[in-house]
């Protein structure tokens, strides 16, 4: 059993391998797209010249092909498209035909100028592409900021303690009631689980048995579990203060159904229990 576990890759290594394959696939797709655009440009040139007897300059059709390849694929696919256009034009459009030779120096100079301009087009198109991406990122960040502000307002209005964590159990959001629930002076005094909290807090069942860290509500939620009004006893080890609380917890999932975090809502119930307990005359 131990040997089998040792042979398994960690989740981080699996994720890195998946991301590397995804980046390679995306890169190859961009170069394949550049190849397809250049091929289409030469097919279009052939159709215009042979089918419609239109004698357009060769570079008239090739420049847009380079521009499109660079805008969609980026700098290096644009340069790749430029190289393909140079080779294709030399082979099909310049004399002697169907060879990679030039019949006169002027054709050589023209091709060199075309190559330089193609690289410049690729650079400018890549700058344009990155500019658009930067604008999109800024808009996305602004939308996230607005959503975070709205979430902060919602959490601040709640009397129950709320905290949201990511898949590594690091805090994303919490409210002021959370700080009060765990007896922190301010929310800024709260620290990030899971490493620090077991040194200060103990979570136990109502029978008094300590709950392991991997069975705390947020850890259960990250395993896909959810619960309503699960009762625990919370104790601060540094002060010895303890209190009864109910925890509601559930996993957070993305659109594909993968668990990306947890949300936990907790409330102290000692006052409620006292109210429910009949007084002895």
Summarised one tens digit per residue, pLDDT across range 160-216 is: 999 888 888 888 888 889 989 989 888 777 776 556 778 888 999 999 899 998 999
Cis peptide before 96 (omega within 30 of 0): yes
Q: Provide the number of structural domains found in the chain.
A: 2
Q: Are residues 89 and 40 in the same domain?
A: yes
Is residue 244 a part of any domain in this protein?
yes
* Domain endpoint, select from 146, 180, 213: 146
Query: Which pLDDT score, from 0 to 100, does residue 175 have?
Result: 87
> What is the CATH number for 262?
3.30.450.20
Q: Which residue has the higher pLDDT, 96 or 261?
A: 261
Rounded to the nearest angstrom, the gap between the alpha carbon of residue 198 and the centroid of all alpha carbons in its chain is: 31
Query: Is the model's pTM score more than 0.85?
Result: no
Q: Which residue has the higher pLDDT, 135 or 3?
A: 135
- Is the pLDDT at 54 greater than 50? The verdict is yes
The two tokens of residue 83 are: 């190289």
Concatenating the DSSP letter of every residue in 66-120 gives HHHHHHHH-HHHHHHHHHHHHHHHHHHTSSSTTSS--SSHHHHHHHHHHHHHHHH
* Domain endpoint, select from 146, 172, 187: 146
pLDDT band with cut points at 50, 70 and 90 for residue 139: confident
Q: Which domain holds residue 47?
A: 12-146
Summarised one tens digit per residue, pLDDT across range 62-75 is: 899 999 999 998 89
Is residue 177 a part of any domain in this protein?
yes
Average pLDDT, the chain: 82
Q: Which residue has the higher pLDDT, 100 or 84?
A: 84
* Domain endpoint, select from 78, 113, 146: 146
Q: Are residues 267 and 194 in the same domain?
A: yes
Q: Are residues 171 and 253 in the same domain?
A: yes
Is residue 236 a part of any domain in this protein?
yes
Query: Which pLDDT score, from 0 to 100, does residue 194 have?
Result: 57
């Amino acid at each position: 059993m131990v040997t089998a576990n040792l042979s398994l890759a960690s989740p981080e290594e699996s994720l890195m391998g998946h991301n590397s394959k995804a980046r390679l696939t995306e890169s190859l797709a961009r170069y394949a797209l550049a190849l397809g655009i250049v091929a289409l440009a030469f097919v279009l040139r052939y159709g215009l010249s042979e089918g419609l007897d239109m004698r357009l300059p060769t570079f008239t059709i090739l420049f847009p092909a380079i521009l499109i390849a660079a805008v969609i694929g980026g700098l290096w696919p644009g340069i790749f498209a430029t190289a393909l256009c140079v080779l294709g034009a030399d082979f099909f459009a310049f004399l002697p035909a169907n060879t990679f030779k030039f019949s006169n120096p002027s054709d050589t100079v023209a091709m060199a100028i075309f190559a330089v301009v193609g690289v410049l087009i690729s650079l400018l198109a890549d700058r344009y592409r990155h500019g658009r991406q930067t604008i999109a990122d800024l808009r996305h960040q602004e939308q996230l900021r607005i959503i975070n502000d709205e979430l902060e307002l919602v959490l601040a209005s709640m009397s129950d303690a709320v905290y949201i964590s990511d898949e590594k159990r690091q805090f994303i959001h919490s409210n002021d009631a959370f700080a009060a629930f765990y007896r922190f002076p301010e929310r800024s005094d709260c620290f990030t689980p899971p490493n620090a909290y077991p040194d200060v807090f103990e979570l136990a069942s109502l029978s008094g048995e300590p709950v392991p860290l991997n069975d705390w509500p947020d850890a259960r939620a990250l395993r896909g579990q959810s619960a309503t009004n699960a009762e625990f006893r919370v104790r601060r080890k540094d002060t010895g203060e303890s209190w009864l609380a109910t925890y509601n917890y559930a996993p957070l999932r993305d659109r594909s159904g993968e668990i990306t975090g947890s949300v936990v809502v907790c409330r102290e119930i000692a006052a409620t229990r006292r109210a429910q307990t009949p007084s002895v005359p």
